A and B are shown apart, each in its own frame.
Chain A
Amino acid sequence: MAGSNEIKVNESKKVVPLNTWILISNFKLAYNMLRRPDGTFNRDLAEFLDRKVPPNTVPVDGVFSFDVVDRSTSLLNRIYRPSPSPETAADPQFGIIDLQNPLSTTEIVPVIIFFHGGSFAHSSANSAIYDTFCRRLVSICKAVVVSVNYRRSPENCYPSAYDDGWAALKWVHSRPWLRSGKDSKVFVYLAGDSSGGNIAHHVAHRAAESGVEVLGNILLHPMFGGQDRTESEKKLDGKYFVTIQDRDWYWRAYLPKGEDRDHPACNPFGPRGISLKGLTFPKSLVVVAGLDLVQDWQLAYVEGLKNAGQEVKLLFLKQATIGFYFLPNNDHFYSLMEEINSFVNPNC
């Protein structure tokens, strides 16, 4: 078959465990069915196919969850908290959510605001893969995770996702029951994978400009791009689950009509980017998967932060593909979790 259509199934199968391959291939094929060539999206089928889970106030493996709606924006957030251990809790009350007392008056408990991935169009805060991921984050980092159910494209394009992220940040800061530490404030980190990483950046930018505190950004193969075709895009097109064609589709669906990929939402350090020099921008942990075709844009992002004098740490996982963190069956997953843990618990 002609070049770009050739199926390189064997390549991707060699680098990921079989169940991971099945999971991500399944998404790839299902997503192919959902994107229509005319730019519309089969939302009904997407919602039907998406595996979703309800919240659970009964702790499972030490983590419980509940959903809260911000009535001013109708934005839903799913909160994940570690359950108090039986020894420390005076009266372990399962099923009853404490929305009054702070998380702790002595210890600092990081609150990670998490923006799920899906290229701005797919998934929700209650998608099984993200629910599971957030639970693991809580267990490993002993943090509270707030997963934001932001509005998705193509029905809601730029800047909806950023506005929702900003609203979530303000909401989290104003919850007394998310405070901790002797100073009794909310210790906020922003995190996200793919489009969620992109959202985290832009929300942090707005926060920096508005004087709202964000202690750190965790960007897991964040979704960035540009008009140019980089080496990594050309070399890895179609080889590891992702194609340039689908990336283009998602940008067209998210960016305002008529815009190209050098729009600052997509390319924050590109020709139309805004400088971050002098801003109190949070420190960043940027994780790049070596088999992700978008990596050149992600590496350019890291350079951009450095050039603006901002603190950034790059975790480059050479043999990782996108979605490596969905199943804890590979080394990259554990490296990632270790890094995130030290990032949000710097004093431990």
Chain B
Amino acid sequence: MGPYDSSTSSSAISSSPSSSTSSSSSSSSCAGKSPDQIDGLLAGAGYRVRSSELRHVAQRLEHLETVMVNAPSQISHLGNDVVHHNPSDLGTWVDSLLSDLNPPEYSDLRYDDFGPILDPSTITRAWTEHLIPEQQRIIPQHLSVATEMEEDSSIRLVHVLMTCAECVQGGEFSLACSLIDEMQHLLTRVNVGCGIGKVAGYFVDALSRRLFTPQGVALVGSTIENEILYNHFYEASPYLKFAHFTANQAILEGFDGHDCVHVIDFNLMHGLQWPALIQALALRPGGPPVLRLTGIGPPSPDGRDSLREIGVRLTELARSVNVRFAFQGVTASRLEDVKPLMLQVDPKEAVAINSIMQLHRLLVSDPTRTSPINNVLDWIRNLNPKIMTVVEQEVDHNQPEFLARFTEALYYYSTMFDSLETCSAQFEKAFAEMYIQKEICNVVCCEGSVRVERHEPLAKWRARLNGAGFKPLHLGSNSFKQASMLLTLFSAEGYCVEENDGCLTLGWHSRPLIAASAWKAVSEPNPSLGLISHPNNVL
């Protein structure tokens, strides 16, 4: 037993990596000058926390304390049964404890201290009275019991959020900061495990980031991180599956009668959409066409060619079902960097353009250049695709006024979080929430070219696409049936598919959250763009 071991265990000294140089010069001031820096003083104490994340970590610590105070039985669970990960990374350590704990059991709260327990319908009505009339559906439907205190605090939280956003819009930063403090206090009085408490927590966090982090420092993860979160979002909720299903059905119908087909996917990710299409094409009466797939994606780190790797997997799948298949990857950091020549479209093939939540990124408006959307829509139209499938978030997050955007985002994401509560897999749900959190941060914290989540509702896309020379194709009843069937696989009631003038939307309790539509080009393609295709390529 070494001299540093306790007398009952033989744990070895573990030196924390951040302190291995034993340095902590007393010249480092409290908050790092650059927000991405690790706080030097906490580093001297053996903890790695970024200066920009100090508030967030403090909030999580408070949250953990709330949970521990509310449910003392959980404390021994935390000490004895939970796996603790890397205590130096304070943020992660606290989060892992929190995600391990279930939201506090209501039975642990002392009801007699709080006054009469309200029944859900009262809460619903009380809530809606305070809200803007159109937005009636924030209340988490599964919230069966709430306390008066919580309800008051929840309502107050929403009010303070709005006020704070207004201050941010008006440039009153010191007032906004004190409102943040108040909201963090309020968050200790509500259930932050679900419902408005949880959503509010994310928005308070986003506002904090906006206030304390310089512009341009977005919550950008690595490509790999983003892919992982995307996959969990895919698993935890039906939104992406709906998008893929519906688009595939439309593409299948669009390719009817064609023997050479080419799908261009604006964001390949892990290619989750394509196995189903390949299999559907394999089973096509009359046999499968020759299928080409072009997947566009960002460059991968470490020199890996992840696009190619996915292409290889899809090729093998296609081979196993006897579909003649070819894949090409096109690497581009931004969609607007893609030039049509890179896609190598053959004049004889039928083209399908597939854009799942990508077009809104082209709406970035920057004083230095015009929106890339028109350019891109132009070259798409010139490819004369048989079909273009477009899926977008059904909300207006592209209003110039910050408060309007913030309000929209609050209601939109509340509904989305609400729907996620039905996911029983805690792990998936947590990561799916992180995926959404990144979107929230982009909408709330960023401006200019960094704000890429510029969602616009179907009505606006219709106007835009009609104006750019496209005409809508009605998604047939098959798509509708498929989508409805998909939903029955999700045991949760509350999701609903609706038909909206030829387009399909998926939403939660009559609030549409995601909209799918299909289009084809109207006018003659422009010969001057110099494509290989013949101008009158109409089959």
Contacts and interface: CB of A to CB of B under 8 A. Distances in A.
A26 B47 contact: yes
Given A49-B87, A139-B26, A9 B15 contact: no
B49 A76 contact: no
B61 A48 contact: no
B4 A327 contact: no
Contacts of A329: 29-30, 41
Given A29-B65, A149-B3, A152-B6, A51 B87 contact: yes
B9 A47 contact: yes
B58 A53 contact: no
B54 A19 contact: yes
Nearest to B80: A42
Contacts of A9: 62, 65, 184-185, 188
Contacts of A135: 22, 24
* Interface range on chain A (Cβ under 8 Å from partner): 35 or more
Given A74-B3, A139-B26, A126 B13 contact: yes
Contacts of A28: 65
Given A1-B113, A53-B15, A54-B15, A7 B65 contact: yes
Interface stretch (B68-76, B348-356, B452-460, B493-501): B68-76
Nearest to A30: B87
A44 interface: yes
Q: How large is the interface on B (under 10, 10 to 19, 20 to 34, 35 or more residues)?
A: 35 or more
Contact of B23 (A18, A61, A151): A61
A122 to B, nearest CB: 11
B181 A19 contact: no
Contact of B61 (A22, A74, A328): A22
Nearest to B39: A19
B31 interface: yes
B64 A45 contact: no
A76 B22 contact: no
B110 interface: yes
A64 to B, nearest CB: 9
Interface string A24-42: 0110111011101100001
B84 interface: yes
B24 A22 contact: no
Contact of B185 (A10, A67, A76): A10
A142 interface: no
B87 A54 contact: no
A127 B88 CA distance: 13
Interface in B1-46: 3-4, 6-9, 11, 13-16, 19-26, 29-31, 39, 41-42, 44-46
Contacts of B24: 132, 135
Contacts of A51: 16, 19, 45-47, 87-88
A313 B188 CA distance: 42
A133 to B, nearest CB: 9
B211 to A, nearest CB: 14
A56 interface: yes
Contacts of A74: 3
B58 A129 contact: no
Interface string B361-404: 00000000000000000000000000000000000000000000
Contacts of A327: 30, 41-42, 44-45
Contact of A124 (B4, B19, B20, B54): B4
A60 interface: yes
Q: Which of B31, B55, B87, B181 has most chain A Cβ within 10 Å? A: B87
A247 interface: no
12 contacts: A19-B30, A22-B47, A25-B58, A42-B80, A43-B9, A44-B11, A51-B19, A125-B4, A128-B19, A139-B26, A149-B3, A327-B45
